[in-house]
């Protein structure tokens, strides 16, 4: 069942990008970072990351998992680049 207003349906194992505070080259930055969906319920999506992530108030998240509402504008699926194969002419 899909909640109203949901643009994307996330499943466990999906690769996503999330807008949050995180570490990049030992500096704390705010921007998009890649993660993987580890849990989904009818209202929220849990995303785990390989690098440290931080809450808005500055605390580092020890398990590197952030939860987002399904209708959040701060989570988006990673768009796969399509490889265009050319058909050889014989």
Identify the band that residue 6 occupies on the pLDDT scale cut at 50, 70 and 90. Answer: low
pLDDT in tens, 12-57: 999 999 999 999 998 899 999 999 999 999 999 999 999 999 988 8
**Measured distance CA(30)–CA(21) in Å, rounded:** 4
Pairing of strands 53-54, 15-24: antiparallel
Tokens (6 digits) for 81: 């680049």
pLDDT of residue 86: 73
Whole-structure pTM value = 0.76
């Amino acid at each position: 069942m899909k909640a109203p207003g949901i643009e994307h349906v996330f499943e466990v194992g999906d690769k996503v990008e999330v807008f949050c505070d995180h570490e990049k080259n030992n500096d704390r930055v705010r921007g998009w970072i890649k993660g993987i969906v580890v849990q989904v319920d009818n209202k929220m999506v849990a995303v785990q990351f390989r690098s440290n992530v931080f809450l808005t108030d500055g605390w580092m998240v020890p398990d590197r998992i952030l939860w987002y509402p399904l209708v959040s504008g701060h989570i988006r699926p990673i768009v796969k680049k399509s490889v265009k194969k050319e058909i050889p002419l014989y």
